[in-house]
Amino acid sequence: MNKILIVDDDRSVQNSISAVICSKGYQSISAFDGEEAIRLFETEQPDTILLDINMPGMNGIEVLKYIKNIDADIPVIMITANYSISTAVETLTHGAYDFLTKPADINKLLITVKNSCANYEVIKQNKKLLIQQSKMAAMGEMIGAIAHQWRQPLNAINLIAQDLVSAFDYGELNREYLGNSVMDIVKQVTFMSNTIDDFRNFFKQDKEKILFKINSIIKEVIYLLYEQIVKSNISISLSCTYAGAVKLNTNCEKNEICTCSPELSAFGYPNEFKQAVLNILTNARDAIIDKQKNSLYLDDESPFINIVISSDNGRAIIKFIDNGGGIPKELIENIFASYVTSKKEGTGIGLYMSKVIIEKNMGGILSAVNFEKGAMFTIELDIAGSVV
């Protein structure tokens, strides 16, 4: 059953519209001023809003702007007794679905509500599809990362097995030799088991916002992709430049992941944040690999991905800088739009979902610019504190 939020300070208008709406199987929710409308919009999550323009206090256009800033897709049908072309244009400019005059024509009202609910349902289903596609793409990246991480321990176990056969043939195999070999195998298997745990945790659904360490989350994603990145002759580094940050390891210049204390923390969804970071890093990696294949690096150039964590005015600033050639000029303005990609086999949903995660789900900012010989993606999040 679709929910319809009716916002009008006139109780008689409320009652008449509500009666018509309910007679057609809709659920009616009533608000008598702008403030109550916003509260009910946030708590009830209606499928369509019927919004009067002229109300005491917060008027309909102000409510429209506020709601559209939160959910640009929610259909808002404006209703007014004082029709003017300028008012109609203004509301439609701010994202209103339609504009009706009082007293509303019942048939037109019902048709408009029916169409708006149907359109909104299509939009919601498309969003669900995008989210699912994004998760599948991220899962593919993770499976690739696990395959790379498992290759080394599997080779090590294979060598240990061959060594045991050789030791037996040459009469060197005793209990101590066997025990040491078994310990080495257990270490490799433990590493592989931990990799599976990382994979499971990565896709575990965050049910509520929690406090998490920004630095640690980024390092987790780097380690998952580390073998792939280094195998592609790409250097990757993570450093911290915010006030009070102390490096716990002195050498973090090339292929070293700098550990800083205290860490910056944020309030949000850590696994979704991992997915956003994964998308940004895999885009940088793929851009560099493409540039390598086309032999576009000069002799004195080395491919790199540098991640710098800083802070400014209570916000964590995370910059992902690469020298992979940058974003094509024709795509840069729409790089975060769905299905926009510069890759031949790309889906164009990774950066779109990253934008949704950072901005809509976590209240931050995600931006991208071309920087020197590559691109720079920047995530900004409110700092919830510093964690040692």
pLDDT average, residue stretch 308-328: 94
**pLDDT over 60 (residue 346):** no
Contacts with 61 (C-beta within 8 Å, 6 or more apart), sequence order: 53, 90, 91, 94
**pLDDT over 60 (residue 204):** yes
Give kind and range of the element (H or E) at residue 85.
helix 85-93
**pLDDT over 70 (residue 258):** no
- CA distance readout (Å), 70 to 17, 24, 66, 360: 26, 28, 7, 8
* pLDDT score of 296: 85
∠ CA 187-191-195, rounded to 5°: 165
pTM of the model: 0.60
State pLDDT tens for residues 128-146: 887 777 777 767 766 776 7
Q: Which residue has the tokens 């000069």?
A: 298
Contacts with 270 (C-beta within 8 Å, 6 or more apart), sequence order: 206, 210, 212, 217
* pLDDT score of 28: 94
* pLDDT score of 275: 82
* pLDDT score of 56: 86
pLDDT average, residue stretch 158-173: 92
Residue 386 banded pLDDT, cuts 50, 70, 90: low
Structure tokens at 292: 């390598």
Domains of the chain: 3-104 (3.40.50.2300), 205-387 (3.30.565.10)
pLDDT average, residue stretch 43-70: 93
Omega into 303 within 30° of 0, i.e. cis? no
pLDDT average, residue stretch 114-126: 93
Cα(125)–Cα(121) distance, integer angstroms = 6
- Closest by Cα among 142, 138, 148 to 353: 138
* pLDDT score of 253: 47
**pLDDT over 70 (residue 343):** no
Comparing 211-220, 251-260, 276-285, 286-295, which segment has the lowest mean pLDDT?
251-260
DSSP bridge partners of 5: 29, 49
DSSP bridge partners of 99: 78
Comparing 189-193, 211-215, 291-295, which segment has the lowest mean pLDDT?
189-193
- CA distance readout (Å), 289 to 124, 138, 241: 36, 18, 28
* pLDDT score of 261: 82
In the chain, the N- to C-terminal Cα span, in Å, equals 49
Q: Coil, strand, or helix at residue 259?
A: coil
State pLDDT tens for residues 69-92: 888 899 999 998 888 888 889 999
Q: Which residue has the tokens 């910059």?
A: 319
For 42-73, b/e burial (b = at least 16 CB within 10 A) is: eeeebbbbbbbbbbeeeebbebbeebeeebee
Residue 336 banded pLDDT, cuts 50, 70, 90: confident
- Closest by Cα among 219, 227, 293 to 257: 219
Residue 149 banded pLDDT, cuts 50, 70, 90: low
